[in-house]
Amino acid sequence: MKIIKEIYAYRTMIAGLVKKDLKGRYKGSVLGFMWTFINPLLQLAIYTFVFQVIMKNPVPQYYLHLFTALVPWIFFSSALTTGSQAILGQANMVKKIYFPREVMPVAYTTSSFINMLLSFIIVLAVSAFSPRPFSIGAVLVLPVVMVIQYILVLGVTMLTSSLTVYLRDLEHIMGVLNMGLMYLSPVVYGIDYIPERFRAVYMLNPMAPVIISYRDILYYGKVPQLSMLSSRHWKSHLRMSSSS
């Protein structure tokens, strides 16, 4: 509770850092702010070409199946990469001014989260006009999943930003870790591809139930099992994986 109160007390500073990061992210580029939308679309085009055109993925409307997972993943990946440098990258400010160190990862995570929200405008439009089922009732649950993911990503970012101060090699490991985690998460493939005997261990990956929830809402048009996103979910899968 103390941390929450301190972060709230420095909300103006956080807002300023978020604004600065959003402005500086594409500063000097010709297309500027439009990269918020272009970046996920380019990644979508590349992955769709590789996995559907070349590898002949049989999933119907694979572009949407991928897009509903890719945008949340970009948020996680971006926050993890930039957030891990949150404290170390602002060393001069940290030394000169007193403020709770948690302010930095909160600001960087929030900046990446805002980018995801803007990208979801395109995801929602594609989902609504695709042949896949689209449910308003399911979409109403979307903010709940987003908030849960934000809290999850913030927790990871706070941890990595603190560790990077003492373990400088961690900043170099993040790129490899990000790539590995992506292929260990159901981004380019569905959960059905994971053999049943490995599911319990696989679902210990915190991003797995998050991505499945987004896909349930925007690809399958159904309300996800929010129990997957609770701490009880990870405890039960931990017990199952240890007993198998």
**Within a 10 A sphere around the Cβ of 141, how many other Cβ atoms?**
17
CA distance readout (Å), 179 to 55, 94, 215: 20, 30, 20
Fill in the amino acid letter for 8.
Y
Q: Tell if the pTM clears 0.85, that is, is over it.
A: yes
The kind and range of the H/E element at 26 are none
- Of 102, 134, 94, 95, nearest to 220 by C-alpha is 134
pLDDT digits (tens, 9 = 90+) for 186-221: 999 999 899 888 888 888 888 999 999 999 999 999
Among 40-54, 95-109, 115-129, 226-240, which stretch is predicted with the lowest mean pLDDT? 226-240
- Please name which of 159, 4, 102 lies closest in space to residue 94, comparing C-alpha atoms: 102
Return the top range by mean pLDDT from 25-29, 118-122, 235-239: 118-122
